[in-house]
Amino acid sequence: MSKPVEIEEAAFNEAVLQAKTPVLVDFWAPWCGPCRMVAPVVEELAEDYDGRVSFVKVNVDDSPRIATQYDVMSIPTLIVFKDGQPVDTIIGFRPKDELKKILETAL
């Protein structure tokens, strides 16, 4: 069973930019209501795509430089990285089926 891993700035390069598989990064904060809505969907996707896509969470309050670097202006923001580059950005809540289509494109 795979779950999204919470990382901080120090681990971002290895966990996301050097990853061998696509990575979905969930930019969130504990005080964000919509972030709490998207979290269970991301957890389901992590199980569905176990071994094919990595899932990480970045708390924008704890890691503001990464959020700024990727122009995260509102949360939740999900960014899909492939080969160290962002290939898709999703802002706000989206249904699971829509997120699956985006992940399939990254694979």
The yes-or-no answer on residue 28 being catalytic is: no
Taking the C-alpha atoms of residue 27 and residue 8, their distance in angstroms, rounded to an integer, is: 11
Determine which one of 32, 45, 75, 80 is catalytic. 32
Longest dimension (CA), the chain: 32
Question: Of residues 24, 25, 35, 56, which has the active-site annotation?
Answer: 35
Q: Is 39 a catalytic residue?
A: no
**CB-count exposure of residue 97 (10 Å: 0-12, 13-18, 19+):** exposed
Strands of the sheet containing 5-7, edge to edge, are 5-7, 54-59, 23-28, 77-82, 85-91
The catalytic residue positions are 32, 35
